[in-house]
């Protein structure tokens, strides 16, 4: 018997009024009873379209079947066969455009809550003991992984399973990449990220922190040190600015800086933690992606009275997850759509006091297929703000490409790879945002997985 309800069972959530004042996780997930109830909405389709929609091909109907039977830890093991970080993916994947978009139940009604079920299994298993997956015997080969974000962690985990001796080199003082410095605690508790990373370390992966590849060590040094292959998963961490006047005023942050101060350096506990952050009364966040939502909701939690998302297209084009937009709106974030800043104005001390903007209209579709915003004549207006967060995207950091002769990159900085992640340099592979520019956690994991397989095939041939 399956559950015929057309509606996806809602997860429990912190009340918006309460959660605006804290950094605790907003979504409280499913209870065991709720998970079983939602799992029984799955039709266990023969052709499994949902699996295709998942970039790492989690065996979705199989694990959901186990949830239905109350075998939560077994379900977790099934997920872990193809996904190294399920507690994270269940929370931050845009399921609406991946697995759940392909779910047959979505034709009439809501898709099965695959993300919520994945999260439930991971949380359930991690609250108990998570068994170390079975590893192949050591093969004596060393592989270096640059960056400990989702791409690097996945690649490292898969290679360790295949018997490689893997070392991850991380520039910052805590591993996790964007999972640690970017995505806030209220969306992804750091305790879980830590636990997921520990489970990768339990497979024998070594993590060397405070090593900046491109400065502390070069890719060529790594080969000299006996590594047979290198995977570059260094992400897209170089913030873009708009090149409008006033961007260097005090009170203008890149979203990376704002979120790094808050999440990574715990500036929300200042002066308990030593890193300060300045959040004024009126904050404008420029951009419409998840990073913009995270920055806006963080600003609110730090006591800003009025937080606006300023986006040059309409809500329909916003790249942020629907759930995050919904959460942001519930918390009182103001959405100023079809609006583009033209200048940031300062006072005599060099601090932000206002921002001028123009209104936009949507014109013809551009190369990305989205309708291009065009300035509406005579629509200029001024917003009183004292903090501006620029969240219009990131490009790959140039440190590695500048110090690696022969590594071919796109004009905008992305590393050029074939469909298996191989770069123009022998035995150098790359994946994740370093290749694609800013994308999603799960796509980075998919790329890490593909590259691990390709590295394995290549090194097996080399004997």
Partner 1 sequence: MYKILEKRRLNDSVTLMRVDAPLVAKKAGPGQFIILRIDENGERIPLTIAAYDRESGSVTIIFQKVGLTTMRLDEKEEGDELLDFVGPLGRVSHFGDVKGKRVAVIGGGLGIAIAYPQAVALANLGAEVDMIVGFRNIGLAILLDELSAVSKNLIVMTDDGSNGHRGFVTDALRQQLDAGVQYEHVVAIGPLPMMRAVSEMTRPLGIHTVVSMNPIMIDGTGMCGGCRLTVGGEMKFACVDGPEFDGHLVDFDEAMKRARMYAPEENLSRERHACRMEEAAKHVQ
Q: Which is nearer to partner 1, 347 or 457 (CB)?
A: 347
The DSSP annotation for 21-75 comes to T--S-SEEE--HHHHHHHHTT----SS-HHHHHSTT---HHHHHHHHHTT-HHHH
Q: Is 77 exposed, middle or buried (0-12, 13-18, 19+ CB in 10 A)?
A: middle
Q: Which is nearer to partner 1, 234 or 440 (CB)?
A: 234
Closest distance to partner 1 from the beta carbon of 320 (Å): 21
Closest distance to partner 1 from the beta carbon of 25 (Å): 22
Cβ-based neighbours of 394, under 8 Å, separated by 6 or more: 236, 237, 238, 239, 240, 256, 433, 437, 438
Within its chain, how far is the Cα of 202 from the centroid? 23
Closest distance to partner 1 from the beta carbon of 371 (Å): 30
Q: Which is nearer to partner 1, 45 or 249 (CB)?
A: 249
Closest distance to partner 1 from the beta carbon of 418 (Å): 27
What are the b/e assignments for 395-405, b being 16+ CB within 10 Å? bbbebbbebbe
Closest distance to partner 1 from the beta carbon of 404 (Å): 15
Cβ-based neighbours of 136, under 8 Å, separated by 6 or more: 161, 162, 163
Q: Which is nearer to partner 1, 248 or 382 (CB)?
A: 248
Closest distance to partner 1 from the beta carbon of 349 (Å): 7
Q: Provide the binding-site residues for partner 1, judged by CB under 8 A.
A: 171-173, 209-212, 215-217, 237-239, 241, 243, 247-250, 253-254, 256-257, 260-261, 265-266, 270-276, 278, 349-350, 397-399
Q: Which secondary-structure segment (H or E) carries 182?
A: none
Contact 219, 211 (CB under 8 A): no
User: Helix, strand, or coil here: 458?
Assistant: helix
Q: Which is nearer to partner 1, 99 or 171 (CB)?
A: 171
| Helix axes of 32-39 and 60-68: crossing angle, nearest 10 degrees | 130
Backbone dihedral angles phi then psi of residue 274, each to the nearest 5 degrees: -80, -15
Closest distance to partner 1 from the beta carbon of 169 (Å): 10
Beta pairing partners, 195:
none
Q: Which is nearer to partner 1, 273 or 305 (CB)?
A: 273
Q: Which is nearer to partner 1, 29 or 152 (CB)?
A: 152
């Amino acid at each position: 018997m399956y559950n015929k309800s057309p509606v996806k069972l809602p997860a429990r959530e912190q009340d918006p009024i309460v959660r605006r004042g804290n950094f605790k996780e907003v979504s409280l997930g499913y209870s065991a009873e709720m998970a079983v109830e939602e799992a029984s909405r799955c039709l266990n389709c023969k052709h499994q379209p949902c699996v295709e929609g998942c970039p790492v091909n989690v065996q979705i109907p199989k694990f959901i079947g186990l949830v239905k039977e109350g075998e939560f830890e077994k379900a977790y093991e099934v997920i872990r066969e193809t996904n190294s970080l399920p507690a994270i993916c269940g929370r931050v994947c845009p399921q609406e455009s991946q697995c759940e978009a392909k779910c047959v139940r979505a034709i009439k009604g809501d898709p099965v809550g695959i993300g919520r079920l994945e999260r439930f299994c991971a949380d359930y298993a991690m609250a108990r003991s998570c068994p170390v997956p079975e590893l192949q015997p050591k093969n004596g080969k060393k592989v270096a992984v640059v960056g400990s974000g989702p791409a690097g962690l996945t690649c490292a985990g898969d290679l360790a399973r295949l018997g490689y001796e893997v070392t991850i080199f991380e520039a910052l003082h805590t591993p996790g990449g964007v999972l640690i410095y970017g995505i806030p605690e209220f969306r992804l508790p750091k305790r879980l990220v830590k636990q997921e990373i520990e489970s990768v370390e339990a497979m024998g992966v070594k993590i060397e922190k405070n090593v900046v590849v491109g400065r502390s060590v070069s890719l060529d040094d790594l080969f000299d040190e006996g590594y047979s292959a290198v995977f570059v998963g260094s992400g897209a961490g170089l913030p873009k600015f708009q090149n409008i006047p006033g961007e260097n005023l005090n009170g203008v942050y890149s979203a990376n800086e704002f979120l790094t101060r808050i999440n990574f350096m715990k500036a929300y506990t200042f002066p308990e933690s030593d890193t300060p952050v300045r959040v004024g009364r009126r904050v404008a966040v420029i951009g419409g992606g998840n990073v913009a939502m995270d920055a806006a909701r963080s600003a609110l939690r730090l006591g800003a009275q009025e937080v606006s998302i300023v986006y040059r297209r309409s809500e329909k084009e916003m790249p942020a997850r629907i759930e995050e937009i919904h959460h942001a709106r519930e918390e009182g974030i103001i959405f100023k759509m079809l609006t583009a800043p033209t200048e940031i104005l300062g006072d005599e001390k060099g601090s932000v006091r206002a921002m001028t903007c123009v209104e936009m209209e949507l014109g013809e579709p551009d190369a990305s297929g989205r309708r291009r915003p065009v300035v509406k004549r005579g629509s200029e207006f001024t917003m009183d703000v004292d903090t501006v967060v620029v969240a219009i995207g990131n490009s790959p950091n140039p440190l590695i490409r500048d110090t690696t002769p022969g590594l071919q990159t796109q004009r905008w900085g992305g590393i050029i790879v074939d469909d298996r992640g191989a770069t123009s340099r022998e035995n150098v592979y790359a994946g994740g945002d370093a290749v694609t520019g800013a994308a999603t956690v799960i796509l980075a994991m998919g790329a890490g997985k593909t590259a691990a397989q390709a590295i394995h095939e290549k090194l097996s041939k080399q004997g």
